[in-house]
Amino acid sequence: MIVIRTAERRDATALLDLKHTLDQTTTNMLLEVGERQSTVAAVETEIDTILGRSRSTLLVAMDANLMVGYGEAVGGQFQRNAHSAMIVMGVRGTHRNLGVGGGLLRGLTHWADVTRMERLELTVQQRNRSAIRLYQRHGFHVEGYRRRSLLVEGQWVDELAMARFAPPPVEGSNG
């Protein structure tokens, strides 16, 4: 059974291992093999920093003792963008198409609604159709195209800019 929970400092080693695994096994993430220079101590600090901000969160997906995915939302740090958070997600290849990405997105959108985050945004490679469909199922819409935004294995790759807006307040609520 997959459990989605807020990351803790003690997750740093597993999170770094997951990110290294993603770097090695998929071209859908930003970093290439060997490009990630983080240490466990740096990831501990990153977790502390993210969780120490009221406008950011970091979720992990666990299958028993194996971290199989993560979802991170980093909120704007200025008044003009404090209503918005950029999200990044990754799911271990062995656990794709098993509901892990959907669980992480449900967790991130619930967090956004509870914290009254008006906007979640992300970028995704245009060729990553399964991720695009997943994001659309969770209320994300394409806002634009970033042509030749990445160079992956010697080929230009376009990205889509996508966003999800908070649902309108329920009538009669204090929202």
Mean pLDDT of the chain: 93
Indicate the range of 13-27, 31-45, 155-169 predicted with least confidence. Answer: 31-45
Q: For the residues 143-151, what does the mean pLDDT come to?
A: 95
Higher pLDDT, 32 or 108: 108
**Top-confidence residue, 35 or 161:** 161
- Radius of gyration of the chain from its Cα atoms, rounded to whole angstroms: 16
What is the model's pLDDT at position 87? 97
Under 8 Å CB-to-CB from 12, ≥6 apart: which residues? 40, 41, 43, 44, 47
